[in-house]
Chain A
Amino acid sequence: CRSLAARLGPVCLDAASFSHRRLSFGPQFVYTPESADKSLGETSRMNLFQAVTSALDNTLANDPSAVVFGEDVAFGGVFRCTVGLKDKYGKDRVFNTPLSEQGIVGFAIGHAVAGATTVAEIQFGDYIFPAFDQIANEASKYRYRSGNHFNCGSLTVRAPIGAVGHGALYHSQSPEGFFAHLPGIKVVIPRGPIQAKGLLLACINDPDPCFYFEPKILYRSAVEDVPVNGYVLPIGKAEVLIEGSDVTLIGYGTQVHVLREVARLAQSELGVSCELIDMRTILPFDEETVYASVCKTGRCLIAHEAPLTGGFGAELAASVQEHCFLNLEAPVRRVTGHDTPFPHIFENFYLPNQRRCLAAIKDLIGY
């Protein structure tokens, strides 16, 4: 396995070294803080979970119908996203539910249909599947099937997702692909604290049911100066973070930061200029920004942690080739998790790390 290590570089390690060295697990990136628009006013240093708390705080303060519930949210939540809210707003507005995901989401849909602003938390995205029937068959179809008589638009469901370095099979999954397949809901994934607060407030205010997935590895590691007042960022709008001319890199959540590093390496090692897009909204996704970019660069690399087959990258790739065919210099490439369950061992090899992405860029350029 030595040749593997040599080609993949410092990120990967050979088998023998496992027992002798402290290993670096999980997505490898350095978080680059951003700054908020000055017009949004006073800011405070917050990490991602504090940004979420701030958004919920704003919501509970301004909307008397708003409630927040989920497993263990009352004491502050296992990721501390709801710290202090129960004390501030009372236990009839911030409360714990029993351990029943299907019950939580069904109950939340009902509450939203009755008109209240409902923010439900699912403790880990890996646990959302018992609720999938409620989401697929109730939440997403309510407005359509009732001919606009009813809707559960005031529903927002939050859940942490993504690799964290030691989550193994049931604490690392990225389920956004399943949800992208449900017309009627919106799916949003932020990349940092400023984005998180604005997008969460946008979801809560959005007239359609929104599923907001927070990359759990960023809860503590992403720190920025976040505006203390409420503000919204647009749903359904991707963002071009780095402008470039040779390859379009598309990602969301944690992967955006890995791709930042890839862009830097591509420039320094390969002399390739990359344009980096953060999708932000998975459904409905921003077609215009993506097609404009790929038509400009001619090459597209999509990266996500979720497995390859049927992952959201598949939808992007199909759409890009359809709309940008004549501008493409190379087939659209996807660098993703393997088509296996999220592993307990060898997470480094599984994830779409910098080296795998860089190798794909080489292929795109050399096509």
Chain B
Amino acid sequence: MFAVIACGRLVQTDFQQVDANKFTLTIPAADKVNHLVFFLTGQCPLPDGAAAAVYLGWPQPPPSPPEPVWSFIGHLTNEKPSAIFKIARTRPQDHDPNHPFLANHFATGSWTDLTCVQVGISIEPVQTVAGMTPPAGTQADSTPTMVAFSQRMLESLVNYLSSFATTPPGAAESYVPMSAVTSSSAIRANLLLLRGGGGLFVSSRLASSAVLSTRPYKLHKLESGPASEAQVTSDEARKYYRDMATVRRMETAAGNLYKEKAIRGFCHLYSGQEACCVGMEAVLDRNDPVITAYRAHGWTYTRGVPVKAVLSELTGRASGCAKGKGGSMHMYNHNFYGGNGIVGAQVPLGAGIAFAQKYREDKRVCVTLYGDGAANQGQVFEAFNMAKLWDLPCIFVCENNKYGMGTAVERAAASTAYYTRGDYIPGLWVDAMDVITVREATRFAKDWCLSGKGPILLEMETYRYHGHSMSDPGTSYRTREEVQSMRQMRDPIASFRQTLLTAELVAEEELKEIDQSVRKEVDEAVQAAKTNAVPDPKELYTNVYSQPPSGQPNYRIRGIDQFTWSAN
């Protein structure tokens, strides 16, 4: 009639009927068991109006009397035929001499074995059972407690690590060696879970959605911040993963094309910062304008320009998104205003675009991105002032990748708390190596702007793996170890991948398939970029003005010699 399962073991049904309404069973090595699952086998239901009260009997060590100490942990009914109970902390302190299971020494087996626990099931009227309260800590939570679970992981990690702490001679405090972090498999397991951003969900195979937690935010002049948890469906998860993987692969391909000299000039790669554009784009729609600086290939892709058009623009082909006339720093699309070469110049433009949105009463936000180097440009502060004065729906985003070209932020800025540099504009610091964290911050920011509260400033703390541009190796102002450790410990794609696998949101095979399809797409785009036609030579002098300038139908661009003219 009843059965019980301890995790990792065979189901036990060897209940012994010790009384008309009482059954007992012994669970060996119960000190290792945290949860027990009880269920009605369905062979015969409980009598009407009856419930099965479940008790646990813990043995007492000598010099206590040998009877087990019983406690009620819960019940089953026909309507609730199965339940899971946490038993790790049910060992009671007080011995109840009047306990029903003690009366006739019903305990079976040897209860001098301190590792065994006795299970007693007593069939009693529902009303009686309903009035009984199980001790705290026995009820398995009905909602998954990612936060509590993560906290326990962190606590155990901290405990583990602090056991390795030593005080070097002459030091004021103790330190934990890195080998403690990296060498232990237990730590690795903890790190895997932590790397998943604390996103844990113990579930059955491939959930269709999961609740993932976001990394903490820092607030400036805000009462509250974005959500600490977010629901992510498996479709969304796949899309974010795919988009980030595509940007990464596309940037790697661009770097290789540059080294082959198929791309010349300036090429600023976005690798490492993918979570920022993909996370933000997850909340924006194509009607929200975006304007950014020159590290724009990732944004160009998420704004809807296919990889082929991005790479062709880099190689100066006619199939490029700016007809090959702009190059790396000047890529555009509908509601994507580039792609800007002069540092900081795009920020006042962004304020202007936001004003246009407000003027036309479009319910849109303008996302205006700039870097940590640009944060020291005067025109940025001019834009802040105008945006706040006129309550413009502008999300200013500082993509802080810690280095302005070769200058670390501490050496360039009197205040590196970029999220506070908007002063009177509320700000949010975001760990932008996690795509869900970015997404929720963007959601918060978009709601803020659209509810008429004016502009908001997001600092996306991120990292770029490559140098500033292709002519910068990126290692003369930072160590290779720093770059390596960011790649290993905080890579946005790898950590998101881990989160998805741990949450069983997407299968490993699917992720592999996505990787392969991304590779195929980028390889084809590379081929096209290398072989597509160059623009027509007349593109050298078209689009200087509207063609032809109004009122001057025969206007010809000056300075062009007759040879160039006659070729067309």
Contact = CB atoms under 8 A, between A and B. Distances in A.
Interface of A: 1, 3-4, 7-8, 15, 18-19, 22, 25, 71-72, 75, 96, 98-100, 102-103, 126-127, 129-130, 165-171, 307-309, 335-341, 343-346, 349-350, 356, 359-360
Contacts of A22: 261
12 contacts: A4-B567, A7-B563, A75-B477, A98-B404, A99-B407, A99-B412, A129-B342, A168-B327, A169-B329, A338-B541, A349-B540, A356-B563
Interface in B340-396: 341-344, 373-374, 376-379
Nearest to A313: B559
Given A8-B563, A127-B342, A350-B540, 14 more contacts: A4-B564, A4-B566, A19-B530, A72-B405, A72-B406, A99-B376, A166-B265, A166-B266, A167-B266, A343-B540, A345-B534, A346-B537, A346-B540, A349-B540
B327 A309 contact: no
A7 B564 CA distance: 10
A313 B489 CA distance: 58
- Interface centre among B264, B476, B539, by most chain A C-beta atoms within 10 angstroms, is B264
Contact of B412 (A25, A98, A165, A356): A98
Given A25-B264, A171-B266, A343-B325, A98 B563 contact: no
Nearest to A72: B406
Contacts, number: 135
Given A99-B374, A168-B266, A75 B476 contact: yes
A339 B264 contact: no
B561 interface: yes
Contacts of A1: 537, 567
Those 3 A-B pairs whose CB atoms lie nearest each other, nearest first: A308-B559, A166-B264, A170-B341
B533 A359 contact: no
Given A4-B563, A344-B324, A75 B341 contact: no
A364 to B, nearest CB: 14
B406 A169 contact: no
B68 interface: no
A340 B539 CA distance: 10
B411 A96 contact: yes
Given A22-B261, A168-B327, A345-B324, A338 B557 contact: yes
A65 B107 CA distance: 96
B558 A345 contact: no
Contacts of A19: 530-531, 533-534
B406 to A, nearest CB: 6
B324 to A, nearest CB: 5
Contacts of B560: 338-339
A319 to B, nearest CB: 20
- Interface centre among A130, A165, A168, by most chain B C-beta atoms within 10 angstroms, is A168
Contacts of A3: 566-567
Contacts of B531: 19
Given A102-B378, A166-B264, A338 B540 contact: yes
A337 B103 CA distance: 106
B306 interface: no
Contacts of A100: 376-378
B530 A344 contact: no
A338 B379 contact: no
Interface string B224-244: 000000000000000000000
A169 B266 CA distance: 10
A102 B564 CA distance: 39
Contacts of B373: 98-99
Interface in B240-290: 261, 264-266
B330 interface: yes
A259 to B, nearest CB: 16
B378 A103 contact: yes
Contacts of B261: 22
B92 interface: no
A308 B558 CA distance: 7
A1 to B, nearest CB: 5
A63 B341 CA distance: 37
A15 B559 CA distance: 21
A127 B378 CA distance: 14
Contact of B379 (A130, A346, A359): A130
A102 B342 CA distance: 13
Contacts of A169: 326-327, 329-330, 341
Contacts of A8: 563
Contacts of A25: 264
Contacts of B377: 99-100, 130
